[in-house]
A and B are shown apart, each in its own frame.
Chain A
Amino acid sequence: MTQSSVEKPNSYRALPDDRGHFGIYGGRFVAETLMPLILEVEAAWDAARADPAFQAELDDFLKHYVGRPSPLYHAARLTEHLGGAKIYFKRDELNHTGAHKINNTMGQILLARRMGKKRIIAETGAGQHGVATATVCARFGMPCVVYMGRTDIERQAPNVFRMKLLGAEVVPVDSGSATLKDAMNEALRDWVSNVEDTFYIIGTVAGPHPYPAMVRDFQSVIGNEVREQIMEAEGRLPDSLCACIGGGSNAMGLFHPFLDEASVRIWAVEAAGLGLDSGRHAASLTAGRPGVLHGNRTYLLQDEEGQITEAHSISAGLDYPGIGPEHAWLRDAGRVEYVSATDDEALEAFQLCSRLEGIIPALEPAHALAHVIRAAPELPRDHLLVMNMCGRGDKDVFTVADALGVTL
């Protein structure tokens, strides 16, 4: 498979095209039963985003329920420790439910209500998107079914209990590898069986069009706030951005408002698991190749037969064999630098941040932090680096204790 070479476009923010394509990526690769429904979601989304009343309602919930804007925080002790770039954290871990996921679920449930849908389904890996979906379903009194791989249910018990407390039904998925990709298959099977009344809240910038663009737009509140906040704090744009990527929604939300600022260097950090050479990782952009899964064409971890292979990461939220299609395009276009961090590097970063800043990060942004730790010392002191702290680490303390050989 040859990689498409992308000519430098006039803007990196003009895609997707009207059929949902980012270059060769994206699109709508779904069963025909779902097509009329997906076209309906697209039409509803087009109408909603052009409606000031929709945006006003969303802004109100983001402010009073989610707790936005999240602070942009100068991590002074980490900056001093690394001795290079001036490091800022975008504190999206302070959102209600503890991660960036709710920026998107709030947007999508308002759209579902606008469309008159009566029932919500979602997939989840680490459980963060499941919790964020269960939360907004509780808030609006809508029944919620969350599909979660049996393997993930076992390693993320606290989030499973949170979802149940919030009134959601958590359905264990035993098919395939019993992880996130299988949960997404099962959610698609539910959707195709309940097309009349059900809205599928996808948790990342992937899936059939319009989801990648829609989720990106809901998450762009992150980057838009950073723009204002850094201007206020420093009077200029940042020199670089850094975020972790599993499906890629927190990264896309931070990056998108800056894609056309040529002076801003952008890093996205994939999970290298036990190492890229080990075969046990989740680095689909670094080590995968283009394919079609879950409604879109994008980079996938797969074998030479086109069968999807298992991803591995210590972070359940990055443990997915695909990536949002816009990231695939940005990779080929060379606009974003895709790097990776291993389980061990993330664990180191997790501990360093906890001790130096009093912030226990989720294992997902700990991957971004691992790259910051590598890159910052090489950069001058007047270099402004913004990293997205997209989730907090409470959910991960058992995993980390286990990895460090500590019995709780």
Chain B
Amino acid sequence: MRGTGSRIARRFEALKAEGRAGFVTFITAGDPNAETSAAILKGLPAAGADIIELGMPFTDPMADGPAIQHASQRALAAGQTMDRTLAMVRDFRKADGDTPIVLMGYYNPIYIRGAERFSRQAAEAGVDGLIVVDLPPEEDAELRGPAAAVGIDLVRLTAPTSDEKRLPVLAAGASGFIYHVSVAGVTGAKSAAEGSVAADVARIRRFSGLPVAVGFGIRTPDQAASVARVADAAVVGSAIVERIAAAVKGGESPPPDMLARSVLGFVSELAAGVRGARTVPA
């Protein structure tokens, strides 16, 4: 690690200094295959991603809508493993020492590897944070401890159902940033109204001083801009993953560079939306 604090903390400090919100992108590791996925990952920072969420594919992604379900299936069918996902990060880190990488997924593939062993390997590969969708605060101590020991943030999620009673539970022990799920639903579903996102973010800020990233249902540069006006970062996942799905429809995957260019072009449009959203910090 360079400088002080984690890559995630430094990135949010830099964004604050720039007076803009961050742009967080999600792709599933190994989708549609290892080579293409690595090419997309490498190009994300230049396309405007400030933080990268990298999905760990799982057979039973019960919080995800069809787009990310299919991405998981494509990756697993192409032979993606946890070792390969970690190798992707290690490879990415050779050229990029600054862009935070947050692994996102479900607990079983981590649990089966062992929380300590997984955390150690992830830290060695250059992972900065973890988002584990099915690990609420009541159950996350067994991963939070080992992750913290190697400098990895276990990012807590909040939801529209997180009320004043629930938020203190979520804020206690949170680190890195808060990931706010802006709609009650699965990834890639309906979009939240701007007003409700603003109110949710304001409520979260009463209980946590951490940056708040907002995700779920953000599909266009305009929607990303709208979220960027009220939150510290906007997350886009399904809409990016759908570009990959469309390109491989029919079975044949285009050459990795060609597919990566097309996906990264869309990422640039989204990034422009976020960067143009405001000129002063929220």
Contacts and interface: CB of A to CB of B under 8 A. Distances in A.
Contacts of A305: 81-82, 109, 112
B279 interface: no
Given A192-B184, A306-B108, A306-B109, A293 B60 contact: yes
A36 B185 contact: no
A322 to B, nearest CB: 10
Contacts of B146: none
Contacts of B107: 29, 292
Taking chain B's interface residues, is the majority helix, strand, or loop, or is none over half, making it mixed? loop
Contacts of B114: 1
B159 interface: yes
B202 interface: no
A184 B157 CA distance: 22
B63 A176 contact: no
Contacts of B59: 176, 307-308
B206 to A, nearest CB: 17
B97 interface: no
Contacts of A129: none
Contacts of B82: 305-306
A28 B138 contact: yes
Contact of B111 (A28, A175, A189, A306): A306
Interface string B84-115: 00000000000000000000001111111110
A300 B60 CA distance: 13
A35 B63 contact: no
B276 interface: no
B181 A185 contact: no
Interface residues of B, number: 44
Taking chain A's interface residues, is the majority helix, strand, or loop, or is none over half, making it mixed? mixed
Interface string A362-382: 000000000000000000000
B166 interface: yes
A35 to B, nearest CB: 5
A148 to B, nearest CB: 16
Interface of B: 58-63, 65-66, 69, 73, 76, 81-82, 106-114, 133-136, 138-139, 156-163, 165-166, 170, 181, 184-186, 189
28 contacts: A28-B136, A29-B107, A29-B139, A31-B63, A31-B159, A32-B158, A33-B63, A33-B184, A36-B162, A175-B69, A181-B60, A184-B62, A185-B61, A185-B62, A189-B62, A189-B65, A192-B63, A193-B184, A194-B184, A195-B184, A292-B106, A292-B111, A297-B111, A304-B112, A305-B82, A306-B58, A307-B76, A308-B59
Interface of A: 1, 19, 27-37, 175-176, 181-182, 184-185, 188-189, 192-196, 289, 291-295, 297, 300, 302, 304-308
